[in-house]
Amino acid sequence: MIINVVRNYCELSKTAADVVQSVIINKPNAVLGLPTGSTPIGMYNELIRMYRERNIDFSEVTTFNLDEYYGMSYENEKSYHYYMQRNFFSHININPSNINIPNGIAKDIEKECIAYDMKIKECGGIDLLILGIGHNGHIGFNEPSNEMIMNTHLTNLAEETVMANARFFKGHDESPEKAITMGLEGIMSSRQIMLLVNGKDKTAAVRRLLTRDKVSPEFPASFLHVHNNVMVVINEDAIEEFNLIHKHIS
């Protein structure tokens, strides 16, 4: 695991966008795994800037998003479909048929999940997966549990996740309790993973990740320690209260 500590959110966003750009330069038809949340917004803005300056071309790129709220349609402006269109896809030259996001209103959710994993495989797997991290160590929407689910699946969100996401809704009561998420296999079979960590509220999660007492589904991000190509880009405000970096780079 490579730990890259950056000075601020701007640097985090540029570093992340540079990694995406180099992957696409090396492989114009790269397959990307994409996150939502507040952390990657700056990276998406950087990528849009690169596109406008003709320094990146998404025409052959394929994307798979990590997750979507259950029961939320494409038109719902709180959905991750809407988020991705507004914050990224509508500003770049990606082919709409190359965009994949779990369908939160699929009639048959199980079938939808199987088809999603199948499509990732058919596309040759994910070249670069970008992740954020939840306060409780969730990746995608793989919540702490006593077992990790391998395939894309419908999941119950942890209470702290429902609370954390309430800021995007009219409050806790409207914050979704279920989501469809890529499972551990989709994440771990990606050839390269980049985890973005921003904000003081992530200090506890970063501490737990970097101290890596054990790999356990109780802290899903711990599985990143058993992947051989992971870069963690951390804004230093998320680690300011402790100094583990030199001790734990591997």
Q: Which residues are catalytic?
A: 67, 136, 138, 143
User: Is 143 a binder of ligand GLP (CB under 6 A)?
Assistant: no
User: C-beta of 196: minimal distance to ligand GLP in Å?
Assistant: 8
Helices (H), the chain: 9-26, 41-52, 80-87, 109-122, 159-165, 184-188, 203-211, 245-248
User: Is 133 a binder of ligand GLP (CB under 6 A)?
Assistant: yes
Q: Residue 66 or 239: which CB sits closer to ligand GLP?
A: 66
What's the rounded Cα separation, in Å, for the pair 49 and 26?
Answer: 20
Q: Residue 109 or 180: which CB sits closer to ligand GLP?
A: 180
User: Is 38 a binder of ligand GLP (CB under 6 A)?
Assistant: yes
User: Is 161 a binder of ligand GLP (CB under 6 A)?
Assistant: yes
- Per DSSP bridges, beta strands 192-197 and 128-131 are parallel
Task: Please choose, out of 19-27, 33-41, 42-50, 52-60, the segment that lies near ligand GLP by the rule CB under 6 A.
Answer: 33-41
Q: Residue 60 or 71: which CB sits closer to ligand GLP?
A: 71
What's the rounded Cα separation, in Å, for the pair 46 and 54?
Answer: 12
> Contact positions toward ligand GLP, by CB under 6 A?
35-39, 66-67, 132-134, 140-141, 161
